[in-house]
Structures are given as structure tokens and as C-alpha cells.
């Protein structure tokens, strides 16, 4: 990558793209050059950059953390500057504002989108995914999910990205009929569930990579981020299930004891970290949204994998994991658990699994609080009975 030196500034010229294919290379190139210019200030000239992905933004964040608040980004196009505004990066890094940039800071504009011309990729009772072009997708949420929830999803996605979480850039909020959605970055990506289903001979390798990636996500310290306690969010959702009449007071109290047993944590908890919510871009795993992200404990993400690959298949409840056979789901779950916990001790893994399952039943019920009608009522009652039955023994978590 070219660079020039002017006074105490080292000016770098990346381009034409900053994405997962070259983000690490750009970061390393800048690092190597700056070793020769100790004490000088790096400036990123974006005049030659036409596209930036979430990986590119994370590279800018690394540079900002490594060299301090004087790092400067200059000559970004209006399109790139719009991304800096939408993700909040303009508040983290000194970014030169384009002279003719017209966007109204802080305003939310909801445009109308015609989905009839878009390719439907996937969907469930919460949202449908549509391909817009090679670099973006629309996640269109069901009618019972309100606009303020979706706006908060966009806010949490931005906070996650700024915290170093590999997550898609969230662009505009749009509307189709009575449904609202968010346009996300998706650079020619497939969902992880699709890739796993297409490469069944490599399921174990995919799952090991997923477990290691999830462990890294759950190690990101987010105390400085504007994220709520995940435990408090779960208590609120549990309370809503009682108010709706779905949970009786005794059932609520028993499930609340399970949630109260989760230690307060200050690392990132996504709450829906399952393969249908993860994209694969140039070999990199990227989260697609962050509607329940917070500060929490690893069990809050591991439990999502548990109900996805273990509980629902064993209970005969349809989900995206239904594309796999029972034997494949058992392989995926067993591999994920042992890789995530970095253990082959069968007694320890069984103990951890029992604690994870105890919370996983409750996690699934909480989706009903977020999106009423998400699951079949008979399935929900079956899961509720299991959750209450599993709440008898409360002990400190073993991981």
C-alpha cells in the first residue's frame, strides 16, 4: 500500500476496497510502516476507496486503538461517509466531512421497498431474508415486531460493530406494507447453515470453527459499551410472559431462580448466535443482526446452540437445523460443546450440558416474548413443561 510523509503525518492510500479479503493485510501494512515513524500520526486517505465492509471498519477501529485519538480519515466519498454516520464511527474516529454531504444527523428515514423483485433467501416466524444485490440483503421482520424494536436492533448492531464484534453493517431501515426491516451488508455471503448443509462431509470442521469463533465473541469485554445487562433483559422478558398469562406465578418464580443463578458478566452476549443468523464472507464469520445483544455470560450464547442443535431436534420441533439428520445434529452439538469448553472430560461435559439445557429451555421461551406467535403453541407448552421441570436443581455454573 502506498504512503507519503508530510510533516508529522504518515498518509496511507488503501483501495479500491476495504473488506474481509484484505482488511488484515491493510492493518499489517500500516503497522509495519508506522514502526519506522514512531510518534507520528497515521492518516487514512479514502479517496481511492469505493467500498468498505464491516471488516474494513474493524480495521479502522484497530488503527484508532493502536495509535490513539489523532488518527484521521480524510477524503471519504459521501457514500462511505454515510456508512460512518450510520454505524457511529464518526464519533469514534476523526473523519473529514465531505463538503456536500446532505444527511441530517440523527434522523431516521424509512423508505418503502418493493420485495416482489427481490430474491427470497430464507425465513422464519421472526423475519424473512431477501437478496438486494451482491453486497446487501434485506432482513424484513414480521408484522408483530414494532419499529422501535427494529430501531433498537440497528442501534445494538452499531454498538456491537464498534466494540469489535464481527457483525454486518446495518444500513437503512425500510418498510414493506405493514412490515419493517433493515438492509444489511452481505458481500456475496451465504448463511452458515447453508454452507454447513452443502458440505456435510465437513460438519465437524465447520462446527469446531464455529465454537472457537463463538468463544472469541464471548471474550470481548464490553463494559465501556452502551449495552444493558443480559440477565436484566431476560428477567424483563420472563415478566412479560407472566403478564401475558403464558406463565403462572409459580412457574415464573421457578424459572426466575434459574436466571438469577447466572453470574453478572461484562463480556459480549449476542443471544441469537445460531448458524442461520451468521453469514460467511470470504471465509469470515459475520453476525447478521443484534436484536438482544448485551453484557452477559457465555451460557447465554451456548444455550442458543443447545436448543438449535439438541433440544429442538430431540423434541421433534421443526427449525432450520431440521435440514440435518439426528445423527448429524448430535455430532454438531457434541463437537461444539467440547470445542467451546476446550475439554474432552466426559463427566465435565455432561455436567456443563445439563446446566446449559436448563437455561436453553428458558431461552427458547423468551423468543415468544419478543415475537408472539413465533412457535406453535403445542411446542411452547411442551418446552415450558420441560423448562419448569428442569428448574429443580440450582447450583453454581461450572464454566
Phi/psi for 185 (5° steps) reads -60, 135
In Å, how far from its chain's centre is CA 374? 20
CB contact set of 247 (below 8 Å; sequence gap of 6+): 238, 241, 255, 384
Q: Whole-angstrom Cα distance, residue 343 to residue 340?
A: 8
Pairing of strands 9-13, 2-6: antiparallel
| Predicted local confidence at residue 171, as pLDDT | 86
| Predicted local confidence at residue 109, as pLDDT | 57
Give the three-state DSSP class for 363. Answer: helix
| Predicted local confidence at residue 277, as pLDDT | 86
Q: Whole-angstrom Cα distance, residue 213 to residue 304?
A: 15
Task: Give ranges for CATH 3.90.1200.10 in the chain.
Answer: 190-389
Q: Tell me, what DSSP letter sits at residue 200?
A: G
Domain 2-95 coded CATH 3.30.750.24 = yes
| Tens-digit pLDDT profile for residues 56-110 | 999 999 999 899 888 999 999 888 888 888 788 887 888 887 765 544 434 445 7
User: How many residues does the structure list for the chain?
Assistant: 399
Dihedral angle computed from the Cα positions of residues 98, 104, 109 and 113, in that order, rounded to the nearest 10 degrees = -20
| Predicted local confidence at residue 100, as pLDDT | 53
| Predicted local confidence at residue 99, as pLDDT | 65
Domain 190-389: CATH superfamily, name plus number? Aminoglycoside phosphotransferase (APH), C-terminal lobe (3.90.1200.10)
Q: What CATH number has the domain spanning 111-185?
A: 3.30.200.20
Task: Give ranges for CATH 3.30.200.20 in the chain.
Answer: 111-185
| Predicted local confidence at residue 33, as pLDDT | 95
Q: Tell me, what DSSP letter sits at residue 116?
A: G
Q: Whole-angstrom Cα distance, residue 307 to residue 299?
A: 12
Task: Give ranges for CATH 3.30.750.24 in the chain.
Answer: 2-95
Retrieve residue 230's grid coordinates: 443480559
Closest CA to 236 of 368, 384, 366, 144: 366
Cα three-residue angle 29-161-77, rounded to 5 degrees: 65
Q: Do 23 and 58 form a contact (C-beta atoms < 8 A)?
A: yes
Which residue, chain included where needed, has cell 429442538? 312
Q: List Cα–Cα distances, 216 to 212, 213, 220, 292, in angstroms.
A: 6, 5, 7, 18
| Predicted local confidence at residue 285, as pLDDT | 92
Sign of CA pseudo-dihedral 169, 171, 177, 178:
positive
pTM (2 decimals)? Answer: 0.80
Q: Which residues of the chain have pLDDT under 70?
A: 99-109, 187-189, 374
Q: Whole-angstrom Cα distance, residue 262 to residue 331?
A: 27
Sign of CA pseudo-dihedral 238, 239, 241, 242:
positive
Closest CA to 366 of 233, 227, 218: 233
Exposed/middle/buried for residue 275 (C-beta within 10 Å: 0-12, 13-18, 19+)? buried
Amino acid at each position: 500500500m502506498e504512503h507519503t510523509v508530510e510533516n508529522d503525518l504518515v498518509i496511507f492510500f488503501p483501495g479500491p476496497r476495504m473488506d474481509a479479503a484484505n482488511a488484515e493485510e491493510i492493518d499489517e501494512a500500516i503497522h509495519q510502516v508506522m514502526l519506522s515513524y514512531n510518534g507520528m500520526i497515521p492518516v487514512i486517505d479514502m479517496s481511492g476507496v469505493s467500498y468498505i465492509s464491516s471488516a474494513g471498519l474493524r480495521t479502522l477501529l484497530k488503527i484508532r486503538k493502536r495509535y490513539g485519538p489523532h488518527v484521521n480519515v480524510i477524503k471519504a466519498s459521501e457514500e462511505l461517509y454515510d456508512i460512518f454516520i450510520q454505524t457511529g464511527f464518526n464519533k469514534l474516529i476523526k473523519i473529514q466531512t465531505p463538503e456536500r454531504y446532505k444527511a441530517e444527523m440523527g434522523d431516521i428515514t424509512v423508505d418503502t421497498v418493493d420485495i416482489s423483485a427481490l430474491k427470497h433467501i430464507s425465513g422464519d416466524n421472526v423475519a424473512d431474508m431477501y437478496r438486494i444485490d451482491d453486497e446487501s440483503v434485506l432482513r424484513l421482520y414480521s408484522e408483530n415486531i414494532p419499529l422501535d424494536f427494529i430501531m433498537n436492533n440497528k442501534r445494538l448492531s452499531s454498538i456491537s460493530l464498534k466494540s469489535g464484534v464481527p457483525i454486518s453493517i446495518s444500513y437503512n431501515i425500510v418498510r414493506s406494507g405493514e412490515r419493517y426491516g433493515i438492509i444489511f451488508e452481505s458481500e456475496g455471503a451465504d448463511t452458515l447453515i447453508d454452507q454447513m448443509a452443502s458440505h456435510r462431509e465437513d460438519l465437524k470442521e465447520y462446527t469446531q470453527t464455529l465454537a472457537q469463533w463463538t468463544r472469541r465473541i464471548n471474550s470481548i469485554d464490553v463494559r465501556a459499551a452502551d449495552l444493558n445487562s443480559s440477565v436484566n433483559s431476560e428477567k424483563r422478558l420472563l415478566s412479560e410472559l407472566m403478564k401475558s398469562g403464558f406463565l403462572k406465578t409459580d412457574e415464573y418464580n421457578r424459572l426466575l431462580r434459574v436466571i438469577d443463578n447466572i453470574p453478572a458478566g461484562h463480556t459480549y452476549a449476542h443471544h441469537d448466535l445460531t448458524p442461520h443468523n451468521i453469514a460467511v464472507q470470504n471465509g469470515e464469520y459475520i453476525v447478521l443482526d443484534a436484536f438482544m445483544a448485551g453484557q452477559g455470560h457465555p451460557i447465554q450464547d451456548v444455550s442458543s446452540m443447545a436448543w438449535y442443535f439438541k433440544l429442538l431436534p430431540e423434541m421433534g420441533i421443526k427449525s432450520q437445523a431440521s435440514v440435518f439428520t439426528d445423527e448429524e445434529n448430535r455430532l454438531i452439538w457434541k463437537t461444539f460443546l467440547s470445542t467451546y469448553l476446550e475439554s474432552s472430560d466426559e463427566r465435565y461435559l455432561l455436567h456443563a450440558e445439563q446446566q446449559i439445557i436448563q437455561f436453553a429451555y428458558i431461552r427458547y421461551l423468551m423468543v415468544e416474548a419478543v415475537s408472539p406467535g413465533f412457535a406453535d403453541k403445542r411446542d411452547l407448552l411442551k418446552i415450558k413443561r420441560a423448562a419448569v421441570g428442569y428448574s429443580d436443581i440450582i447450583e453454581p455454573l461450572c464454566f
